[in-house]
A and B are shown apart, each in its own frame.
Chain A
Amino acid sequence: MDPMVLTEEDETPRGGRHLARNVAVAVAIVLLAFVALLATRKSGDVERTEAKILGQAVPAVQGTTLDGTPYDITNHRGSWVVVNFFAHWCPPCVAEQPELVKFAEEHKAAGDVQLVGVAFQDTEADVRQFFATNGGNWPVLVGDTGSIPLAFGVTKVPESYVISPDGQVVAKFEGVTQAKLDAVIAGFEAQSGSGTP
């Protein structure tokens, strides 16, 4: 037999005859899945409206407002409260301010919704300027307000939380419109109207 012609018996590569092929197939499957994963990943900017605070009792919101009066959210138990975290240096906050103003106007007569702003990493002077430029006339907490965003789990601005009359945090928005706020309140009232108290 021609020694140059290798026979089947000579071919005993370790790991099996088709090690490279089998490993390649396995690797291909894994990598295909990996590429699919990377391709379909949602962008990081997806609005995160899920929050741990939803459904919990509202944390303490108290402090001193711009005009120096003390404020405590527990005094407003029985009305809806919208807590709006903002800062003067944040463009979306500037953008949403007119919506909040409209919302405040709409409910001023009925008095069933209170608005309170909490300055997030901001100075009193800048906040004053912010309201002077963009309008709005509701209590705004300034000063040492750091613990309030922490309690809510606020990570950036703007964030707004809707508190029901019995003190529960029912909604969170990253950037609000008047329509969104009204929808939440209306939806809730419709539900509680038809359900058992």
Chain B
Amino acid sequence: MNLALGTAGVVLGLVASIGAVVTLAFGLVGHKPELLRLSRVYTWLVLAAAVLAVVAMERALITRDFTVLFVAKNGSSRTPALFNVATMWAALEGSILLWVLFLSGYTALVGRKFRDRLTDPLVGWALLTMFVVCVFFFGLLLGPANPFKSFNPPLGYDGPGPNPLLQNNPLMAFHPPMLYLGYVGFTVPFAFAIAALVTGRVGEGWLVETRRWTLIAWGFLTVGIVLGSWWSYEVLGWGGYWAWDPVENASFLPWLTGTAYIHSVMVQERRGMLRVWNLSLLCATFSLTILGTFITRSGVLDSVHAFSESSIGPAILGFFALVVAVTVGLIGWRGDRLRSPGRIDSPISREGAFLANNVLFGAFAFIVLLGTVFPLLVEAVNGKRISVGVPYFNRMTMPVGLTLLFLMAVAPVLPWRKASGELLRHRLLWPAWIGTGCVVLGVALGQTGLAALVAFGLGGFAAGSAGRQLVLATRRQGWRGLVGRANGGMIVHLGVVVIAVAFAASSSNVRQAEFSNLKPGDTATIAGHTVTYVRQNEVVDSNKTSTQALVLIDGHGPFSPGISKFTLNGSTVGTPSVFSRPTVDVAVSLLVAPESPDAPISLRVTVQPMIMWLWIGGAIMAFGTALAAFPGRRRRGIEPVSAPVPDHRPGRSPAAGGSGADDPAPQPAGISARVRLGPEGR
């Protein structure tokens, strides 16, 4: 039953997506608006199909229907309820189901938002692009990633449950959905970018429409990444929250280009410039999400987070190649005609700051991408196996990160077009004092090391600048001074500063030690904290047996780091305990399962300050994004709006009207008023 429903859902989705692609293609190329209007029906069909498939899978998981191979391999009667629902995205095939659900949801939302403009080729091409992506993912579900294969369970069969590492923590239930909402969300602005390239209408209209979508997708991606780090930190037990692991990097890359886009798009809105560059950024972001999916699922790079290898790799790589070919081709073909004239007057201006922002984020992304794939490159060139790990990434990204902090401080006070030294001096004085104060405070609290102190100083500087903007805005507009893109953006900056400072503080002050041969009552001391071993404890659960060591950390507790042995597949997983306080975290993990209840134990203790502020900073960023997406005060736009170049062919009027579907050829429209150089020349 579940098998039938699920497969029906997937098939329906694929057929409807293909149908939509064909219909829209005919409608767009043949200029048939009635076909274009059908797109909304297709979005409903595709959404219904995805919902059907997901409901079927969840039903199978919750009822432990082992006739479904996916459930047989990943579900279990002993898995607790919440984790059973989350089991869908704990393994490869189900994760594609989640992707497809969100993708069809976004497609339906686009159909709804633009329901009055379905006959506009811009919207038509955008929906066409989204349906093509749907075809790919539904195709995966019918092919290499089929979750609805059947299985003949022997009598009394019980599944092994999801990977033990994934059963440990409720964060696991939230991290993938948030991440996917972000990844998949970027499909929408990408689709509009493709549409803009194809129709030649790279004016600002489509941009304003999709601005909120982009921001929301970016917000989800941010939350997803922060939750992922938090989960790593809680589960993997050594106090690490970011290991520059290939899968982590894969999720970080689209975030980097997405952030660059969010900033440089403001230059486009204000000055009409950087249009093709912004389109390229959007295409790069989407391509990177597909690349990220490939890295995570193909096993091509070693990672603690990777799904199991499967034949899905070549399919995703093929889609990546297709996306890259199409976008690079479009940009190469159309880009030069669509570039805007115009210039940036001075590097010391907000435009200049956004350019610098893009250069820095580009460098950041380049470093992360290069470091991630470099072992592959070297192996292809000379067959040697090398590693590029944390030391490389930290050393290379630190200067970029510090420069970005500096830019975050200076950019908000820069006016458009041109700034004077006088203005900068006046506006930056107090933020600079705050930065200095942070350095002094850091030294007073015992922080040493130039890098960390510089990070504190720049962080304070940036926070002061952001705070200054918020104070000015609230003075003018009251509470409304906190919402809207600029002000929400300042709050996001504050969140970034908190994370940066917490990162600097925790990574420069981490202390770790192992203590062996501890008997009940022994106390280990490290960096001013005490860990007292009380006794052992054994806990038997529905799906695992845990041997724990009860400990008191700084007199608080008892905490129970342990080692869990999962009854069904015999694998063992360490479950560390973390004592979190706003100032410092103490993490304790049991190294080896002790042989007997009275045997002495070995513990590893890690002390890191300021960890909690990483998660708080993430929450501030999410809050700021929500505020930024909140509609600000509506005023008449002063953006350069694109006008079509009047067509001088006989019989055509300059104002072609709303529907571009009548145009036989896309004009190079959407260019700002081209001007001739007057005799004044320079």
Contacts and interface: CB of A to CB of B under 8 A. Distances in A.
A41 B335 contact: no
Nearest to B592: A121
A156 B145 CA distance: 30
Interface stretch (B37-45, B59-67, B320-328, B482-490): B320-328
Contacts of A18: 336
Interface string B497-515: 0000000000000000000
Given A19-B339, A24-B331, A38 B317 contact: yes
B471 interface: no
Contact of A31 (B324, B339, B648): B324
Interface string B318-355: 00110011001101111110010101000000000000
Given A4-B648, A10-B676, A43 B299 contact: yes
Interface stretch (B150-158, B376-384, B395-403, B427-435): B376-384
B309 A25 contact: no
Interface in A11-36: 13-14, 17-21, 23-25, 27-28, 31, 34-35
B276 A20 contact: yes
Contact of A43 (B309, B325, B334): B309
A150 interface: no
Counting chain A CB atoms within 10 Å of each CB, the highest count among B294, B333, B336, B377 belongs to B336
A184 B336 CA distance: 64
B328 A19 contact: no
Interface residues on A, range: 20 to 34
Nearest to B375: A41
Contacts of B325: 28
A40 B335 contact: no
A28 B645 CA distance: 31
B328 A20 contact: no
Contacts of B645: 4
Contact of B336 (A3, A10, A19, A37): A19
A89 B572 CA distance: 12
A20 B197 CA distance: 13
Contacts, number: 76
Contacts of A6: 674, 676
B423 interface: no
Contacts of A40: 380
Contacts of A25: 332
Contact of A20 (B299, B300, B339, B377): B339
Interface in B648-682: 648, 674, 676-677
Given A13-B339, A35-B320, A28 B328 contact: yes
Contacts of A42: 379
Nearest to A24: B332
B34 interface: no
Contacts of B595: 123
B516 to A, nearest CB: 13
Contact of B335 (A3, A21, A38, A44): A21
A23 B314 CA distance: 27
B554 interface: no
Given A20-B276, A21-B336, A28-B328, A14 B343 contact: yes
A39 interface: yes
B332 A37 contact: no
A37 B380 contact: yes
B642 to A, nearest CB: 16
B558 interface: no
A156 to B, nearest CB: 13
Nearest to B295: A38
B133 to A, nearest CB: 18
A94 B676 CA distance: 82
Contact of B314 (A14, A24, A39, A123): A39
A195 B570 CA distance: 52
A44 B317 contact: no
B639 interface: no
A6 B328 CA distance: 27
Contact of A35 (B298, B317, B331): B317
A28 B332 contact: yes
B300 A38 contact: yes
A12 to B, nearest CB: 8
Contact of B376 (A4, A21, A37): A37
B302 interface: yes
Contacts of A19: 335-336, 339
B304 interface: no
Counting chain B CB atoms within 10 Å of each CB, the highest count among A17, A18, A35, A89 belongs to A35
B336 A35 contact: no
A24 B300 contact: no
A35 B322 CA distance: 11
B208 interface: no
Nearest to A22: B332
Interface in B279-332: 294, 298-300, 302, 309, 314, 317, 320-321, 324-325, 328-329, 331-332
Contacts of B343: 14
B336 A17 contact: yes
Contact of A13 (B328, B329, B336): B336
A19 B274 CA distance: 13
Contact of A3 (B324, B329, B373, B676): B676
7 contacts: A6-B676, A13-B341, A20-B336, A35-B324, A38-B300, A38-B376, A41-B376
Interface of A: 2-6, 10, 13-14, 17-21, 23-25, 27-28, 31, 34-35, 37-44, 89, 123
Interface of B: 276, 294, 298-300, 302, 309, 314, 317, 320-321, 324-325, 328-329, 331-336, 339, 341, 343, 373, 376-377, 379-380, 570, 595, 645-646, 648, 674, 676-677
Q: Which are the 8 A-B pairs with shortest beta-carbon distances? A: A20-B335, A24-B332, A20-B336, A28-B328, A21-B332, A35-B321, A31-B324, A24-B331
Given A34-B373, A38-B298, 7 more contacts: A18-B336, A20-B339, A25-B332, A28-B332, A38-B317, A38-B376, A41-B376
